[in-house]
Amino acid sequence: MQTGFQYHTIASLGDSTLGSDPTGYRGPFASIHAANLMGIEYYEGAVGGDRSWTLINAGRHTNIAENYGNGTLVTMMVGAWDFIDSDINIVNGDYSFIDELEENITIILDVLVESEIDVLVWNLPNMSFLPFLTQIFPTEVHHHFTEASILWAERLDEMAERYGSDVQVFDLMTASDDLLQNASARTIGGEEVISPPEMCDKNCIMIDSLHPTSVGQGLLANYMMEAINEKFPRLEGDYPLLTDEQLLDLADFGMSETVDEVIIIEGDLTKACFDWSTSIYRQMYLTITSNGVDIPIPSYVGFNTEVCRQSTHVMYTGESSVNIIASVENNLSLNDFFEIWGENFSSEQVMGFTTANGGSIRVFIDGVEFNGDWSKIPIDDAISVEIQHNSPLDSLQENEGAQSTSGFSALLSGLSILAAISIFSNRGNREKIRKRF
């Protein structure tokens, strides 16, 4: 009879809530805090944007299983991107994606448990509070996100029960509800951390529409440590939590407010360098297709370049999510993004695709086709931009080199933009194709 759990390593597995922060403004992650509080090693296996099937395809679970074993605790949060990819189905009351998510999570858990690894699997927060989704979809369909979140939490409880003590659930839904709804839960040393929909880099729970800030991660770490003490207790007694002093070190309540600051750039707009976390920014979602095939968009365009060390240019992308500095007084355009990217863009050419031989290029901003001056396409307040290249049937072979984007890049391109287009312009339902490997 086991009376206590002893660990040498915490390994994170899942998406960017638990790992992969190239900016440094939303860490240390909760799992890193847990490893430090437990005095053990940490392995970061979580990768930003992972869906359940991309995680399996990349073998991240088998890598942990093969290189670690008894004495390893995996902290795992998988499903947020599966959820987001199914957003249009969800708002129509179709929650069938949960069946496939359960199948994939079962594959992951089977491999880990077979290697005598314990797993603390996180459920999801109430996704109807996630700005990423609520900024796109109207209020009257938000309740579907709540229903799907609850259904997945219940399903995950049932799954964990089948594995006995090897797999336990960290109830992130309850923890996040507490942080969002109870000011006392997010008050540190008399200072209240700001909750969504407000976002900021230091004193808010969320730094953007998807990710917790550093202090948000710290607050979540304490909820997770309470779950570890309850579900995987050690013989020596409870592990400690982060103190108020440690949490305050993750924030900066003495910082001067700069939310109304306007940035004026003199000279070349696309060569400006500054720390994006101290500026006001918003997200826009970009997709590019040629004859209906998704074209890959690289991550972090303009991020950490030779010119801008640990800073950014005025815009960059993280797999179709383009962060735009909104406090720049100069009018940013879609053309600026392509200039930073170093790709061709005009009414006659996008990247390597042209209008030669009767082809066409069309741009849709929030579902409405753009018909103005193509030399400077405005993107003020735009949520989605879709660029469609089409060529005549007799020249399709010329574009066979354009491959479908594998993994989460294509899915985010196809789904984030379809969400905005379907809701705002009712251009018709498009079938989303999930690429499996």
* Cis peptide bond N-terminal to 125, omega within 30: no
Top-ranked range on mean pLDDT: pick from 20-29, 234-243, 258-267, 289-298: 234-243
Whether the per-residue pLDDT at 316 is higher than 80: the answer is no
pLDDT of residue 279: 67
Whether the per-residue pLDDT at 290 is higher than 80: the answer is yes
pLDDT of residue 215: 95
Give the sign of the dihedral formed by CA 86, CA 90, CA 94, CA 98. Answer: positive
Six-digit token pair at 356? Answer: 């030669």
CB 215 within 8 A of CB 201: no
Whether the per-residue pLDDT at 243 is higher than 50: the answer is yes
| Higher pLDDT pick, 110 / 268 | 110
Instruction: Please calculate the CA angle 216-217-220 and round it to the nearest 5 degrees.
Output: 90
- Predicted TM-score (pTM) of the model is 0.66
CATH, domain 9-250, list 1.10.3720.10, 3.90.1150.10, 3.40.50.1110, 3.40.1080.10: 3.40.50.1110
Going by C-alpha positions, the residue among 399, 394, 411 that lies closest to residue 357 is 394
d(CA 268, CA 265): 8
Mean pLDDT of the region 81-99: 93
| Higher pLDDT pick, 23 / 388 | 388
Mean pLDDT of the region 109-113: 98
Six-digit token pair at 343? Answer: 């790709």
Mean pLDDT of the region 116-145: 90
- pLDDT above 90 covers a percentage of the chain that reads 55
At residue 168, φ and ψ (nearest 5 deg) are -125, 155
DSSP state of 256: P
At residue 275, φ and ψ (nearest 5 deg) are -80, 110
| Higher pLDDT pick, 56 / 316 | 56
What is the residue extent of each domain of the chain?
9-250, 269-425
- pLDDT above 70 covers a percentage of the chain that reads 81
- Render pLDDT for 202-235 as a digit per residue (tens, 0 to 9): 899 998 778 899 999 999 999 999 999 999 999 9
pLDDT of residue 394: 44
d(CA 162, CA 20): 31
| Among the ranges given (248-252, 326-330, 410-414), the one the predictor scored with the smallest mean pLDDT | 410-414
pLDDT of residue 417: 37
| Higher pLDDT pick, 407 / 240 | 240
